A and B are shown apart, each in its own frame.
Chain A
């Protein structure tokens, strides 16, 4: 079964850090762009960051640039999001999502995890 499973969410104080992980299975992880997309409670979807299959293309939303770092370990079929200097507005459910196209950065997202919740509050 093709799936993505996120972990690492939790409650953190403003200014704190958190590292999210996304474990992939059921497909050749190293061949696909993987993205982070977040959804604040009761709100819409916001793309956060994406990383190409060999990590040579990395893009961030302006809202997280300079604070978040995306990375991947193809040997471990895993994606990561290091989140620093967290703000209240970063509170959201964070999904990882797989690109549809083999070895192509720009694509829709066909596989989504269930998400991991990040709450930034004092």
Chain B
């Protein structure tokens, strides 16, 4: 199975500052035939199910604020929150769906400093 490793496990960022979360996969999740990275990012707030923010590594879902962006390819990916808002406090997960079984990173908790 592909192992997804996120860093850091948690981070505290001041309001309005940038938050950066990294995700590394043990194997490439780039599918050569269509040149797409099978990598998604989710946000989970307490007591709620996860919410899909970004798929294909960099495609923001409809309604997701543009302060959220995804980047990377192959085995190394990044989720960036350009200007942290109070409502962004949550746990964030990366997820590879390239090779079944799909696997998630362990999660990164984002808090306000």
Question: Do A and B make up one complex?
Answer: yes
The answer to whether residues A47 and B102 also contact, given A106-B97, A108-B40 and a CB cut-off of 8 A, is: yes
Contacts A108-B40, A113-B49; is A46 near B104 (CB within 8 Å)? yes
Task: Collect the chain B residues with CB atoms within 8 Å of residue A115's CB.
Answer: 49
The answer to whether A107 and B106 have CB atoms under 8 Å apart is no
* A109 interfacial contact with B, CB 8 Å: yes
Say whether A44 contacts B104, CB under 8 Å. yes
Chain A residue with Cβ nearest B40: A108
Shortest CB distance A49–B (Å): 8
Q: Which chain B residues (6-61) contact chain A, with CB distance < 8 Å?
A: 38, 40, 42, 44, 49-52, 55, 61
On whether the beta carbons of B49 and A50 are closer than 8 Å, the reply is no
- A59 contacts partner chain B, Cβ-Cβ < 8 Å: yes
B49 touches A112 (CB 8 A): yes
Which of B61, B97, B101, B104 lies in contact with A45, CB distance below 8 A? B104
Q: Which of A44, A62, A107, A114 makes the CB contact (< 8 A) with B49?
A: A114
A110 within 8 A of B: yes
Report whether B101 and A61 are in contact in the complex, using a CB–CB cutoff of 8 Å: yes
Contacts of A113 in B (CB 8 A): 49
Q: How far is the CB of A115 from chain B (nearest CB, A)?
A: 6
Q: How large is the interface on A (under 10, 10 to 19, 20 to 34, 35 or more residues)?
A: 20 to 34
Q: Mark B90-113, 1 if CB is under 8 A from A, else 0.
A: 010101011011111111000000
Residues of B within 8 A of A110 (CB): 52, 61
> CB-CB < 8 A to A62: which residues of B?
1, 101
Chain A, residue nearest B38 (CB): A106
Verify B101–A47 contact, CB threshold 8 A.
yes
Scan residues 39-93 of chain A and give those whose CB is less than 8 A from a CB of chain B: 44-47, 50, 59-62
Additional pairs, 18, CB under 8 Å, beyond known A45-B50, A109-B40, A109-B50: A44-B91, A44-B104, A45-B44, A45-B107, A50-B102, A59-B100, A62-B1, A97-B49, A100-B55, A105-B100, A106-B97, A106-B102, A108-B55, A108-B95, A109-B95, A112-B49, A112-B51, A115-B49
B residues with CB within 8 A of A? 1, 38, 40, 42, 44, 49-52, 55, 61, 91, 93, 95, 97-98, 100-107
8 contacting pairs across A/B (C-beta < 8 A): A44-B106, A44-B107, A47-B104, A95-B49, A108-B97, A109-B52, A110-B61, A112-B51
